[in-house]
Amino acid sequence: MPPLKLIACDPIVGLPRKPYPWLRPDVPDLLGELARLQISTAIVRHRQCLENFAHWGNAVLARETAAHANLIPAVSLTPDGAPDAHDFDAAFRDALGRGARVGWISPKEHMFSPRPWCSGRLYAACAAARLPLLLDYRQLTLDEVDEIMTAHPDLRLILVQVPRLGRHRALYALLERHPSLHLCLSSAYSVHEGLNDLVRKFGHTRFVWGSNYPEAEGGASVTLLMYADIPDAARAAIAHGNIERLLAEVKS
């Protein structure tokens, strides 16, 4: 059996204010990790979008990933757009014009509400462009996820850092209610037979894979997928096929 193609959807690079004692999570380190674990491609966010300024961090990420075809930069979005114009529509069109294929938001760090009354224009734009939107599970409540998806049912929202909570009753209910909701599954979701159960219940088209870089040893995420008792077609879809389809369907 040939090696499984892997695309990691959740890495974040850049030095935090409180540094990791054991690594320097920059682009060269990530590239080394991809090579070590035989991960072909990574969708990358930059910590400078959190520690400093969202739109400046986007520019840093674009420079740092420009020479690496296997790194896909995720553009950090805010509901007010980029200064000095603070025109969300113009900023979003500019991001698409520059080739953006995936976005992400961080409501807590950027001090805005994820609820539709504040961020609805952002969600509507992403839905219209079919732009996948990454959102850390820890950034909002599941009631807010339900509110977002109810207001914007076509939004391709991908929750990352989905935690280990056994058979996650609330997530199962959300997946049943919202067909466009996706989960990025990594070692953070180390539920016994959890991936098997998700695939049995919901099929395999709504799950993508993450390496949990730099928060955890990436081999654990590889093991989660490789040893799951799921059909090979489902394994390949989660490993790379689903995210490749989502990226290909973006309307630029």
State residue 16's pLDDT score: 82
CB 42 within 8 A of CB 70: yes
Give me the residues paired with residue 41 across strands.
Answer: 7
CB 44 within 8 A of CB 73: yes
State residue 143's pLDDT score: 96
User: Where is average pLDDT lowest: 91-100, 130-139, 192-201?
Assistant: 192-201
Is 113 part of a structural domain of the chain?
Answer: yes
Q: Tokens in use for 119?
A: 């961020």
pLDDT above 60 (res 247): yes
For residue range 71-112, what is the model confidence (pLDDT) as tens digits? 999 999 999 998 888 999 999 999 999 999 999 999 999 999
State residue 194's pLDDT score: 83
Cβ-proximal residues to 127 (8 Å cutoff; 6+ apart), any chain: 152, 154, 155, 156
Q: Residue 195 and residue 1: Cα distance in Å, rounded?
A: 22
| Per-residue confidence band for 22, with pLDDT thresholds at 50, 70 and 90 | confident
Is 106 part of a structural domain of the chain?
Answer: yes
Q: Residue 169 and residue 177: Cα distance in Å, rounded?
A: 13
State residue 166's pLDDT score: 60
Residues 109-132: what's their mean pLDDT? 97
Mean pLDDT rounded to a whole number for the chain: 94
What is the C-alpha radius of gyration for the chain, rounded to an integer number of angstroms? 17
CATH number for the domain spanning 15: value is 3.20.20.140
Say what percent of the chain tops pLDDT 70. 98
Q: Tokens in use for 127?
A: 């839905």
Cβ-proximal residues to 248 (8 Å cutoff; 6+ apart), any chain: none
Is 188 part of a structural domain of the chain?
Answer: yes
Structural domains of the chain, count:
1
State residue 165's pLDDT score: 65
Is 40 part of a structural domain of the chain?
Answer: yes
pLDDT above 70 (res 1): no
Which residue type sits at 204? H
Three-state SS annotation for the chain: CCCCCCEECCCEECCCCCCCCCCCCCHHHHHHHHHHHCCCEEEEEECHHHHCCHHHHHHHHHHHHCCCCCEEECEECCCCCCCCCCCHHHHHHHHHHCCCCCEEECHHHHCCCCCHHHHHHHHHHHHHHCCCEEEEHHHCCHHHHHHHHHHCCCCCEEEECCCCCCCCHHHHHHHHHCCCCEEEECHHHCCCCHHHHHHHHHCCCCEEECCCCCCCCHHHHHHHHHCCCCCHHHHHHHHHHHHHHHHHCCCC
Is 1 part of a structural domain of the chain?
Answer: no
CA 146, 147, 152, 158 torsion: positive or negative?
negative
Q: Residue 23 and residue 2: Cα distance in Å, rounded?
A: 31
Is 2 part of a structural domain of the chain?
Answer: no
Look up the domain containing 33 and give its range. Answer: 7-248
Is 108 part of a structural domain of the chain?
Answer: yes
